[in-house]
Amino acid sequence: MRSASHPLHSDAPLLGVGVGLRPSHYPEVLAAAARGELQVDWFEALSENYMVPGGRPPRVLDDVRSHVPVVLHGVSLDVGSVDPLNETYLDALSALAQRVEPAWISDHLCWTAVDGIRLHDLLPLPYNGDVIRHVAARIRRVQDRLGRRIAIENVSSYLSHRDDELTEWEFLDAVAAEADCGILLDVNNVFVSAHNHGFDALRYIDAVPAERVFQIHLAGHSRHGDLLIDTHDHPVCDEVWTLYAHALRRVGAVSTLIEWDANIPAFDRLEAEALRASAVYDGVFAAATGSGAKLGAGHAVG
C-alpha cells in the first residue's frame, strides 16, 4: 500500500503485516487462504526449510504463494564467516527464489559457521573496518549471484568483541552502505541487545538509514538471569511495541512481520498479534498525517 501520505523511503514493496510460515499452522493457513479469509497480508518462509527436493513443505509454500506474497528469510547464508560462501547453498537459494518469486530475500548480519562446522546460531561479528569490508564484499557476491539486493538483519547478541571500533548501528549502516543492500530491522533484537550490552535502543533506531529498511521484525523474548534471550516464544512485549512505533516514525511505511518459533500458539493468536501491529502502524501514520489510512493485516495491499 504505497501511499503519498505515508513516507516510504526504501524501494522494497509495502506488503502490510505478515507472520512467519510454520509447519504447525499449515492446515489452518491453507484452509483460511482457500476461503479468502487470511487475516495476514503475507508470509515469511525460512529459506532452508524449503530447500528440499519435494514433499509437503514446498507444496504448501507454492499454495500459500498462490494466495499472498512471500518473502524468503534465511539463517545460513553466513555473510560473516571466513569460510568460503557455500556455492551449493547459493544454488539452492537461487532455485528457490526462482520458484517462489519472493518480494525480497533476507538473512542475518552475523557468522554461523567456521572450519566447515555449523553452529546453527547467529553470532555477532567484531564491529570494525576490516570486517565491514569482508562482509560487504560477500553480500555483494550474493547479490550478484541472486541478481537482486538482499536485506540483512541485525541479530540479538549475548557477547561483544574487544575488537569493536564502532557501535553496532554504525557497523550495520556501514555494511549496508558498502554492500548497497537493504536492512531488515528487527526491533526486538535491538531491544534485546540494548539490554544485554547496555546501549540505548532509541539511539540505535534513530541511526538506522531509513531508505534501506525493507522490513521490520517483531518477536517475543525471554529473560535468563541478567540477560534477555531472543527465544521467539512469547508475545511481543510492551516495550518492543513502543519501540516499534518509534521505528515506524523514524523509517516510515515498512512491511512488518511477527515471528513466533517456540511454544507456537494457535494461528489465530498469531493473527491477533499481526492485527495489533497493524493497529500500531495505523496509529502512527494517522497521527502523522491525519489521514486515518489503514495498513495491512487483512486489508488489500498493492
Which of 89, 94, 148, 167 lies at the binding interface for other proteins (CB under 8 A)?
A: 89
Q: Does 223 bind other proteins (CB under 8 A)?
A: no
Residue linked to cell 547478541: 157
Stretch that binds other proteins, among 35-43, 81-89, 236-244, 263-271 (CB under 8 A): 81-89
Q: Of the two residues 128 and 289, which places its CB atom closer to other proteins in the complex?
A: 128
Q: Does 227 bind other proteins (CB under 8 A)?
A: yes
- Residues 110-129 touching other proteins, rule: CB under 8 A, are 111, 113-121, 123, 125-126
Q: How far is the CB of 28 from other proteins (least distance, A)?
A: 16
Rounded to whole angstroms, how far apart are CA atoms 122 and 157?
A: 8
Q: Which residues sit opposite 123 in a β-bridge?
A: 111
Which of 78, 153, 173, 259 lies at the binding interface for other proteins (CB under 8 A)?
A: 78
Per-residue binding string, other proteins, 150-169, x by CB under 8 A, is: --------xxxxxx------
Q: How far is the CB of 41 from other proteins (least distance, A)?
A: 26
Provide the CA 94 distance to its chain's centre, in angstroms: 19
Per-residue binding string, other proteins, 262-301, x by CB under 8 A, is: ----------------------------------------
Q: How far is the CB of 157 from other proteins (least distance, A)?
A: 9
Q: Does 55 bind other proteins (CB under 8 A)?
A: yes
Q: Collapsing DSSP states into helix, strand and coil, what is residue 150?
A: coil
Stretch that binds other proteins, among 51-59, 200-208, 248-256, 294-302 (CB under 8 A): 51-59
Q: How far is the CB of 160 from other proteins (least distance, A)?
A: 5
Rounded to whole angstroms, how far apart are CA atoms 151 and 21?
A: 19
Rounded to whole angstroms, how far apart are CA atoms 7 and 10?
A: 10
Nearest alpha carbon to residue 164 among 134, 107, 126, 136 = 126
**Type of residue found at 197:** H
Q: Does 84 bind other proteins (CB under 8 A)?
A: no
Q: How far is the CB of 178 from other proteins (least distance, A)?
A: 16
Q: Does 36 bind other proteins (CB under 8 A)?
A: no
Phi and psi at residue 256, to the nearest 5° = -125, 145
Nearest alpha carbon to residue 110 among 84, 70, 146, 77 = 77
Q: Does 178 bind other proteins (CB under 8 A)?
A: no
Nearest alpha carbon to residue 119 among 155, 163, 170 = 155
- Residues 184-203 touching other proteins, rule: CB under 8 A, are 198
Cell triple for residue 33? 487462504
Q: Does 259 bind other proteins (CB under 8 A)?
A: no
- Segments of 74-142 assigned E as strands: 105-108, 111-114, 117-123
Q: Does 99 bind other proteins (CB under 8 A)?
A: no
Q: Does 54 bind other proteins (CB under 8 A)?
A: yes
Rounded to whole angstroms, how far apart are CA atoms 34 and 20?
A: 18
With left for phi above 0 and alpha for psi between -120 and 50, is residue 58 left, alpha or beta? alpha
Q: CA end-to-end span of the chain, whole Å?
A: 5
Phi and psi at residue 88, to the nearest 5° = -65, -40
Binding site for other proteins (CB under 8 A): 48-49, 51-59, 76, 78, 81-82, 86, 89, 111, 113-121, 123, 125-126, 130-131, 134, 158-163, 198, 224-227, 229
